[in-house]
């Protein structure tokens, strides 16, 4: 189940969902036994409402693989959402822990065509604003966003990857110049990973190996969401990258 790959690390850190389901998520990833993991994901305060939102719009089950992919990486299931859809969704999030005053401040700024994926939640609704477990500051936003990294070298339980970090300039978000960072990885989660491959990572740990199509999709939706959030924050929309 794709949800286990991306939910495992923040759950282990105590940021979302029932506490410490590491074994259940690893069992789901390694063997396909996802019964316990699936029941747990229904209790994730931010994730599950988005899965239900995307699924209902597309007449899918919340745990459909494409629904998970839409939320975490972005795909066609995100097309066609309206301002009214996301306004109602904010009310759902209030019922899950989002302070009502934050929801009311956000409602006038919702774009006409929102993109209700993970990164939109992180940047627009605010990382940690539903659970209260993480401060909505830039470093946490970068760590929480699903990033694409090109593997340069393997170490003992570590990957050294190049990626474009989230940064901010003159009040709007940007993908910064490519830099190297270190992420942890497990052979159970990303078996056989090798230099030159592209991996997604979340909260400093590799989640899966992405082929060229899915990697391009992740970067494309990442740039779309950043531009959209800049726009609905009444800031200049920019897709430029920082100069070296």
Q: Domain residue spans in the chain?
A: 2-126, 144-232
Give the separation between CA 224 and CA 80, rounded to whole angstroms.
Answer: 14
pLDDT (0 to 100) of residue 234: 59
Q: Is 242 helix (H, G, I), strand (E, B) or coil?
A: coil
pLDDT of residue 204: 96
- Please tell me the predicted confidence (pLDDT) of residue 144: 96
Q: Which class would CATH give 144-232?
A: mainly beta
Q: How far is CA 54 from CA 4, 57, 125, in A?
A: 18, 5, 17
- Residues in the chain with pLDDT values less than 50: 235-244
Residue-wise pLDDT for 59-115, tens only, equals 999 999 999 999 999 999 999 999 999 999 999 999 999 999 999 999 999 999 999
Residues paired with 180 in a beta bridge? 162
* CA 166 centroid distance within chain: 13
| Cβ atoms of residues 162 and 174 within 8 Å | no
């Amino acid at each position: 189940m794709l949800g286990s790959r991306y939910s495992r690390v923040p759950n282990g850190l105590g940021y979302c969902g029932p506490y410490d389901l590491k074994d259940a998520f690893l069992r789901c990833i390694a063997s396909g036994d996802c019964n316990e993991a699936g029941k747990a994901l229904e209790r994730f305060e931010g994730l599950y409402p988005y899965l239900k939102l995307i699924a209902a719009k597309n007449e899918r089950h919340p745990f459909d693989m494409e629904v998970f992919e839409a939320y975490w990486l972005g795909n066609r299931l995100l097309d066609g959402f309206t301002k009214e859809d996301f306004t109602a969704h904010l009310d759902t999030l209030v019922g899950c822990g989002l302070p009502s005053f934050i929801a009311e401040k956000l409602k006038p700024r919702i774009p006409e065509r929102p993109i209700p994926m993970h990164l939109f939640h992180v940047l627009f609704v605010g990382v940690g604003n539903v659970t209260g477990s993480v401060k909505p500051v830039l470093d946490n936003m970068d760590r929480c966003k699903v990033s694409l990294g090109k593997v340069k070298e393997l170490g003992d339980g570590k990957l050294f990857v190049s990626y474009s970090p989230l940064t901010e300039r003159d009040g709007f978000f940007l993908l910064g110049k490519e830099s190297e960072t270190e992420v942890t990885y497990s052979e159970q989660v990303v078996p056989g990973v090798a230099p030159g491959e592209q991996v997604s990572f979340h909260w400093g740990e590799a989640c899966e190996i992405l082929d060229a199509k899915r990697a391009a999709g992740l970067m494309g939706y990442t740039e779309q969401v950043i531009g959209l959030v800049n726009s609905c924050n009444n800031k200049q929309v920019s897709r430029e990258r920082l100069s070296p």
